[in-house]
């Protein structure tokens, strides 16, 4: 592929960009210098740049030929509140913040593709390059949509990519249907009556009720959800009491649930409310239940058939058919690209970050994006544009 040869000449430049972004990570909706960096480069390459969607989001438009087809390609820009433990030269210079999910690499691959496509314009139609803020738990994709993303940039389909450490470097994995789970959080405050630990009959013990409630909640997946549907409910926090000899008046319980379809998502939420109410009734207590108290939940990341077929064809063209996994196990993790896929048909692929001894998982303080996959990642975007925006 001639693109790959030309892109190899871009490799040094992309590595430089990626390491720059890695050194100056910014978290959700704070991606100011990151978006400045990207917007300046995109403007220089000759794209039409729009800013401020979802606060720090950037959209760059590029049109070639006279075709009316339009597609959107999306990368994420944000980093995590993790103290980097790497010692190499390009380690984070921002205390307590690091690119531990590879979004520095995602932005770089899309920027490399933008540079190449702006120069060669070997397609017929319009490409929207979306650089979104706040993928990590803060729903930056939804914030861009709320700011009119797809009204102002009416793409017919949208495509996303994430690196995956457990897949060989430069290999791809993609399938139609669910790729990543829906994600929701919940918070329960159970209210009883405080009393001396030696005289439980004079109060109403929330600790015992909480223990029952947690066990009851664990029956949702095992007894209510269809065994053929994957789902998980996890209690992740319990806070109550502060001494040895007094029973407190309340317990705070927090948790999360994940699944692969919206009907199961609704079923789990309904069952949580029913089980809380019934357990409270059994113990003559009250409770408040709040879903997603701090941030919105994420929907299922769901790939549509036609766009997945295109992604598979593209991945095979750039990596070779043997390097494309077509039946990956969907992840119970979540991805806010799901919000874009709820608006438009599209496809989300994984690109292997390498599964060598030295590679580690996402969100690990020793993680680093693999610069060796920058070229193949950018080539995927370019090939996808070439295959989608053809002569009419
Ligand atoms: Zn992440
Ligand atoms: Zn990520």
| Ligand with an atom nearest the CA of residue 162 | 2
Percent with pLDDT over 70 in the chain: 98
Q: Which two tokens stand for residue 170?
A: 């430069």
**Residue 357's pLDDT band (boundaries 50, 70, 90)?**
low
Residue 251 contacts residue 189 (beta carbons within 8 Å) = yes
Task: Over range 362-372, report the average pLDDT.
Answer: 96
pLDDT value of residue 288: 98
295 band by pLDDT with thresholds 50, 70 and 90: confident
Ligand of minimum distance to the alpha carbon of 80? 1
What's the pLDDT tens digit per position in 233-253?
999 999 999 999 999 999 999
pLDDT in tens, 12-51: 999 999 999 999 999 999 999 999 999 999 999 999 999 9
Cα separation values, 337 from 49, 69, 178, 284, 341, Å: 21, 21, 12, 43, 6
Take residue 11 and report the two structure tokens written for it.
């490799």
Give the Å distance between the CA of 75 and the centre of ligand 2.
Answer: 10
pLDDT at 29: 98
Q: Separation of 373 CA from ligand 1 center, angstroms?
A: 18
Tell me, what's the pLDDT at 53? 98
pLDDT band at residue 391 under the 50/70/90 scheme: confident
Q: 102 is written with which tokens?
A: 């590879």
Q: Ligand 2 centroid to 183 CA: how many Å?
A: 15
pLDDT-based confidence at residue 60 (cuts at 50, 70, 90): very high
Q: How far apart are CA 282 and CA 3, in angstroms?
A: 67
Which candidate, 233, 212, 211, 214, places its Cα nearest to that of 222?
233
Residue 56: per-residue pLDDT: 98
Distance CA 223, CA 206 (A): 25
What is the whole-number distance in angstroms between the Cα of residue 101 and the centre of ligand 1? 5
Q: How confident is the model at residue 224 (pLDDT cuts 50, 70, 90)?
A: very high
| pLDDT band at residue 360 using 50, 70 and 90 as cut-offs | confident
CATH topology classification for 182-291: Alpha-Beta Plaits (3.30.70)
Judge whether 2-180+300-388 and 182-291 match in fold: no
| Cα 372 to averaged position of ligand 2 atoms, centre (Å) | 18
What is the number of other CB atoms lying within 10 angstroms of the CB of residue 103? 28
Q: How many CA atoms lie within 13 A of 172 on its CB side?
A: 28
Ligand 2 centroid–CA 293 distance in Å is: 22
The domain made up of 2-180+300-388 is a member of CATH 3.40.630.10: yes
Residue with tokens 């996808």: 384
Express each pLDDT in 298-356 by its tens digit: 999 999 999 999 999 999 999 999 999 999 999 999 999 999 999 999 999 999 999 76
User: In terms of Cα–Cα distance, which of 23, 38, 17, 16 is closest to 94?
Assistant: 23
Ligand 2 geometric centre to CA of 135 (Å): 7
SS (H, E, C) the chain: CHHHHHHHHHHHHHHHHHHHHHHCCCCCCCCHHHHHHHHHHHHHCCCEEEEEECCCEEEEEEEECCCCCEEEEEEECCCECCCCCCCCCCCCCCCCCECCCCHHHHHHHHHHHHHHHHHHCCCCEEEEEEEECCCCCCCHHHHHHHCCHHHHCCCCEEEEEEEECCCCCCCEECCCEEEECEEEEEEEEEECECEECCCHHHCECHHHHHHHHHHHHCHHHHHHCCCCCCEEEEEEEEECCCCCCEECCEEEEEEEEEECCHHHHHHHHHHHHHHHHHHHHHHCCEEEEEECCCCCCECCEEECHHHHHHHHHHHHHHHCHHHEECCCCCECCCCCHHHHHHHCCEEEEEEECCCCCCCCCCCCCCCCCCHHHHHHHHHHHHHHHHHHCCCC
Please give the C-alpha separations between residue 293 and each of 220, 237, 268, in angstroms, as whole numbers: 21, 14, 17
Tokens 């992740």 belong to residue = 236
Task: Provide the percentage of residues in the chain whose pLDDT is more than 90.
Answer: 95
Q: Is the distance from CB of 92 to CB of 22 less than 8 angstroms?
A: yes
What does the domain layout of the chain look like in residue ranges?
Answer: 2-180+300-388, 182-291
Distance in Å, CA 163 to ligand 1 centroid: 10
pTM equals: 0.93
Q: In degrees rounded to 5, what are phi and psi of residue 103?
A: -70, -20
Tell how far the Cα of 212 is from the centroid of ligand 1, in angstroms: 34
């Amino acid at each position: 592929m001639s693109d790959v040869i030309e892109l190899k000449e871009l490799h040094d430049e992309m590595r430089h960009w990626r390491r720059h972004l890695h050194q100056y990570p910014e978290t959700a909706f704070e991606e100011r210098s990151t978006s400045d960096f990207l917007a300046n480069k995109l403007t220089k390459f000759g794209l039409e740049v729009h800013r401020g969607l979802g606060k720090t989001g950037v959209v760059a438009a590029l049109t070639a030929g006279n075709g009316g087809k339009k597609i959107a390609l999306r990368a994420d820009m944000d980093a995590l509140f993790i103290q980097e433990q790497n010692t190499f030269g390009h380690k984070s210079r921002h205390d307590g913040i690091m690119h531990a999910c590879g979004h520095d690499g995602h932005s770089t691959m899309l920027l490399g593709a933008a540079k190449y496509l702006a120069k060669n314009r070997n397609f017929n139609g319009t490409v929207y390059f979306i650089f979104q803020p706040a993928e990590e738990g803060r729903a930056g994709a939804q914030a861009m949509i709320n700011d009119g993303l797809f009204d102002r940039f009416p793409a017919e389909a949208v495509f996303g990519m994430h690196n995956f450490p457990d897949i060989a470097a430069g290999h791809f994995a993609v399938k139609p249907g669910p790729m990543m789970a829906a994600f929701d959080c919940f918070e329960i405050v159970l209210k009883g009556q405080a009393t001396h630990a030696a005289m439980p009959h004079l109060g109403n013990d929330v600790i015992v009720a909480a223990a029952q409630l947690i066990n009851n909640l664990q029956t949702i997946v095992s007894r209510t959800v269809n065994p053929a549907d994957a789902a998980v409910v996890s209690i992740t926090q319990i806070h109550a009491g502060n001494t040895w000899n007094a029973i407190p008046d309340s317990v705070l319980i927090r948790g999360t649930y994940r699944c692969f379809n919206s009907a199961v998502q609704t079923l789990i939420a309904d069952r949580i409310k029913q089980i809380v109410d019934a357990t409270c009734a059994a113990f003559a207590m009250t409770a408040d239940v709040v879903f997603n108290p701090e941030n919105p939940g994420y929907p299922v990341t769901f790939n549509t058939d036609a766009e997945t077929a295109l992604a598979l064809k593209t991945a095979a063209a750039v990596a070779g058919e043997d390097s494309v996994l077509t039946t990956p196990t969907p992840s119970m993790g979540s991805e806010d690209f799901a919000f874009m896929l709820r608006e438009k048909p599209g496809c989300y692929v994984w690109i292997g970050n390498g599964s060598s001894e030295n590679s580690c998982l996402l969100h690990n303080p020793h993680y680093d994006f693999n610069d060796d996959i920058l070229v193949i990642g950018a080539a995927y975007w370019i090939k996808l544009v070439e295959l989608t925006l053809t002569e009419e």
